Amino acid sequence: MSVAPGAFAVATGGQVVSTVASLIAASGVGASEGAILAAAALGRTREWLLAHDLDPLEDGAASGLVALLELRRSGLPVAYILGEREFHGLPFQVSRDVLIPRPETELLVDLAIAAAGHCGVRILDLGTGSGAIAITLAHRLTLAEVTAVDASAHALRQAARNAQRIGVQVQFVLSDWYEALSAQRFDLIVSNPPYIARADLHLKAGDLRYEPQLALVSGEDGLDALRKVIGGAPAHLQPGGRLLVEHGYDQGAAVRALFAQAGFTEALTTRDLAGVERACSAVWFGGSVR
């Protein structure tokens, strides 16, 4: 910690005290992220803080909060500072080995739940990372049999810990996309693969700087992983099975073309809450596997 609590102190009634509000305001961290960090530092709920953010803080509590605010100010994402991020109402542990689960990916999960129905479907999640998609599906679709693969052993360990904490069964497989799955076929394949182009400037700003490149970057046009995921799907889907992928804001047309090339008909694009084309899905009706 490079800034002492005293540096953020305010004077009230002649006495110099730090409060949650004064420390957050002085830190330059946004109010809502500051409140999340304060709740964690003090072991309180955000609701409690609303009523107590002007209470004087003891030195230990103040320095604990300042330490977290300093980490955030240095750029580290809140999810990595706390080691946790909520996704679809479930708490996921996230280390720097895995992508931080995004709200827009909840769309993929909602679409997968709708597609799976409530029968005993076999589901495959490709590039599971923290396990957010696979574990949420296993939690919501209690009759489904969920397999999740990742090329990173570190990510798989994190995902397995999350499955255990949340209390669901997922079969985790170390695999570069479909490679270790031999001839297994599934009723539903889902994936939020890396889809950012190597030269995209977003990679050099904000939280993305701290996330694993393996989970973000995919070749010159950002479509390398989507080519593999979509191209390989027919060999791993049951006839009548569905592939559902997340993609970048400007990749809708390219992804529909990849579905068509792989022999899928009627690929359907769904927009996220921001109105951006975000997910694409189609049923595999069988036929020759290229």
**Number of residues in contact with ligand GLN under rule CB under 6 A:** 7
Contacting range for ligand GLN; rule: CB under 6 A; set: 11-19, 44-52, 84-92, 189-197 = 189-197
Residue 86 or 266 with smaller CB distance to ligand GLN: 86
Task: Quickly tell me which residue has 């810990």 as its tokens.
Answer: 161
- Closest contact distance (angstroms) between CB of 68 and ligand GLN is 23
Nearest CB to ligand GLN, comparing residues 65 and 217: 217
The footprint of ligand GLN on residues 191-220 (CB under 6 A) is 192, 194-196, 208, 216
Stretch that binds ligand GLN, among 21-29, 187-195, 250-258, 279-287 (CB under 6 A): 187-195
Q: How far is the CB of 238 from ligand GLN (least distance, A)?
A: 26
Nearer to ligand GLN, 8 or 87 (CB): 87
Residue 172 and residue 286: Cα distance in Å, rounded? Answer: 27
CB closer to ligand GLN, 32 vs 213: 213
Of residues 93 and 251, the one with the C-beta less far from ligand GLN:
251
**Piece of 12-20, 21-29, 188-196, 234-242 that binds ligand GLN (CB under 6 A):** 188-196
Q: Which is nearer to ligand GLN, 37 or 214 (CB)?
A: 214
Residues 85-144 that bind ligand GLN (CB under 6 A): 102
Shortest distance (Å) from residue 15 CB to ligand GLN? 45
In the complex, least distance from residue 127 CB atom to ligand GLN, rounded to whole angstroms: 8
Cβ(152)–Cβ(97) under 8 Å? yes
Residue 63 or 192 with smaller CB distance to ligand GLN: 192
Residues in contact with ligand GLN by CB under 6 A are 102, 192, 194-196, 208, 216
